[in-house]
Chain A
Amino acid sequence: MKAIVSVIGRDRTGIIAKVSGKLFEMNVNIEDISQTVMQSAYFTMIMMITLPDGVGIADVNAALAPVAAELGVEIRAQHEDIFNSMHRI
């Protein structure tokens, strides 16, 4: 199952390290990653991930919730189909 992880918030050190570290612990593969910093402070990172069998999106969200709290950013994992259905015919 493929999902999109988005991280949105104020830029600071360690965002990519902490998020990807947590995903590594869950054996989640990161297929693609892109990030931008807008208006010099607003950080956006998008990751395309593949979940191993037995790991659901709810599990990923639960694991990332403490990371989001620690970093002071919003993190959400969503199944890729919500984006595909909205933007692709």
Chain B
Amino acid sequence: MLNQKEIIQTISMIKDQHLDIRTVTLHISLFDCISESAERTADNIRRKLSPLAAKLVATAEDIQAKYGIPIVNKRLSVSPVSLIGAASGGYALIARAMDEAAKENGIDFIGGYTALVQKAMTPKEREFLLTIPEVLASTERVCSSVNVGSTRAGINMDAVALMGEVVKRTAALTADRGSIGCAKLVVFANAVEDNPFMAGSFNGVSEGDSVVNVGISGPGVVKAALENIRGASCDVLSETIKDTAFKITRMGELVGREAAAAIGAQFGIVDLSLAPTPVRSDSVGEVLEAMGLSVVGAHGTTACLAMLNDAVKKGGTMASSHVGGLSGAFIPVSEDIGMIEAVRKGALSIEKLEAMTSVCSVGLDMIAVPGDTDASTISAIIADEAAIGVINGKTTAVRVIPAVGKKEGDEVEFGGLLGRAPVMGLSRGSAKEFVSRGGRIPAPIHSYKN
């Protein structure tokens, strides 16, 4: 029998501490949509996505009403489009079909405009990468991701060099909207196949026909729990985070299983991520500060983040039958009020953020940099992050916005969950010669495990 304290705790998490299901993402295979004609491929995709999208939205609304837990985003995610359109070409037509299916059915974002080129690029994949800027500028809800490195393959420096140009061109083509196209483009190393979060979500080639993956939120719940144990030791801190992560992950498991059953899809995973939003008390930065930092970015931040990330995983793992996705704390600057304020105060630099990415999930995320940043510098940032991921056997990513016309200290406003980003300064040195070498950085020695 439930007791009153438990019931009040759950209600208070939802009502006061911003606990929500950040996303229910329906991953859909498009391999059965391939044809030799781009028009027919796009038609097949539209026909496959629309009914599933409608079902996802209706199901999410039912679950929200039944349990009283907000489901913030309903998303779709498809097989890597670079593969789906390889026989037909016409990648832009396919992207338009995805965008329309999303818009017509109330889907927030659709991921999967994706290429996996960690080892090499086929001519079709190169052609695909070059379409990304136009696609992100001309569609509203399509998200794109490109995997340029893996622990098994090393880092494809030709793709890294090309992606610097792609990011710059995407920024230029969406300059009138704060270069927002770059917020829908992420460059990965060790990309995962079942990530429900955007912009990097796609349905991996080894995944099923339709799979529900769930991303939870909950920085506000962790922060509230930590505020009750001021002065306690790190052991107590870690246990408290584990306990809280267990509870919020159970929400994800419940919602994911129910959504999958209602849609007739497979239940995939719960992504154990603490995903912030730009509102106060829903911030990973504030969680780190509640651990005892005067401001996120202070020395000690990396240690706090490492403990937070690990404790979230330990608590969450027991709460879910299948854990996957990115699973860890997210540190997107523009989407986290604590991070935004720390950058404004000059307490959080890009170098510190890079160090933080070595101990948490993902990487340099939603960071605005000066608009005149050279493409080779963007490539070098991608290479640095990929190196952290490849060497440490973890996912890393870069989602930077070289905001056209903006310089260090300016701010870019994206609105909604994407928030606003103070433009951060970068090192003034150049890596042009290094980036232009191309080729492949070999896989690290510890990847040879067979």
Residues of A bordering B, CB below 8 Å: 4, 6, 8, 34, 36, 44, 46, 48, 56-58, 61, 74, 76-87
Please determine whether A6 and B11 come into contact, CB atoms closer than 8 angstroms: yes
A-B residue pairs, 6 tightest by C-beta: A78-B68, A82-B67, A58-B65, A87-B6, A85-B254, A85-B250
- 24 A-B pairs with CB atoms under 8 Å apart are A6-B7, A6-B8, A6-B11, A8-B15, A36-B4, A44-B4, A44-B8, A46-B8, A56-B66, A57-B65, A57-B66, A58-B65, A78-B66, A78-B67, A78-B69, A79-B67, A81-B67, A81-B254, A82-B10, A83-B7, A84-B2, A85-B250, A86-B250, A87-B9
0/1 string, B349-382, CB within 8 A of A gives 1: 0000000000000000000000000000000000
* A79 & B11 in contact (Cβ 8 Å cutoff): no
In the bound complex, CA of A86 to CA of B298 (Å): 34
Identify the closest chain B residue to A48 (Cβ). B2
B65 pairs with A46, CB closer than 8 A: no
Given pairs A81-B254, A82-B69, 18 additional interface contacts (CB within 8 A): A4-B7, A6-B8, A8-B15, A44-B4, A56-B66, A57-B66, A58-B65, A76-B11, A77-B68, A79-B66, A79-B67, A80-B2, A83-B7, A83-B10, A85-B251, A85-B253, A85-B254, A86-B10
Q: How far is the CB of B416 from chain A (nearest CB, A)?
A: 26
B-side contacts of A46, CB under 8 Å: 4, 7-8
Give the shortest distance, in Å, between B138 (CB) and chain A (any CB). Answer: 39
* Chain A residue at minimal CB-CB distance from B8: A44
Q: How far is the CA of A73 from the CA of B98 in the complex (A)?
A: 44
Indicate with 1 or 0, residue by residue over B1-30, a CB within 8 angstroms of chain A CB atoms. 010101111110001000000000000000
Chain B residue numbers with a CB within 8 Å of A34 are: 4
In the complex, whether B247 has a CB less than 8 A from a CB of chain A is yes
Contact B2 A87 (CB under 8 A): yes
C-alpha gap A80/B1 in the complex (Å): 10
Alpha-carbon distance between A78 and B53 when the two chains are bound, in angstroms: 25
* Nearest Cβ on chain A to B2's Cβ, whole angstroms: 5
Specify which chain B residues have a CB less than 8 angstroms from the CB of A87 in the assembled complex: 2, 6, 9-10, 247
Cβ of A83 and Cβ of B15 under 8 Å apart? Answer: no
Q: Are A82 and B254 in contact (CB under 8 A)?
A: yes
Q: How far is the CA of A80 from the CA of B10 in the complex (A)?
A: 11
CB distance from B16 to the nearest CB of A (A): 10
A85 to B253, CA, bound (A): 9
Contacts of A80 in B (CB 8 A): 2
- Docked Cα-Cα span, A76 to B69, in Å, equals 11
The residue in chain B whose Cβ has the minimal distance to the Cβ of A36 is B4
A61–B69 contact, CB under 8 A? no
Taking a contact as CB atoms under 8 Å apart, the answer to whether B6 and A83 are in contact is yes
> Which of chain B's residues 220-258 have a Cβ closer than 8 Å to chain A?
247, 250-251, 253-254
Residues of A within 8 A of B250 (CB): 85-86
Write the nearest CB–CB distance from A33 to chain B, whole angstroms. 11
Q: Which residue of A lies closest to B63 (CB)?
A: A79
Interface residues of B in 30-80 (CB under 8 A from A): 65-69
Q: Chain A contacts of B247 at CB under 8 A? A: 86-87
CA distance A79 to B7 in the complex (A): 12
B-chain residues with CB within 8 Å of residue A79 when the two chains form the complex: 66-67
Minimum CB distance partner of A79 in chain B = B66
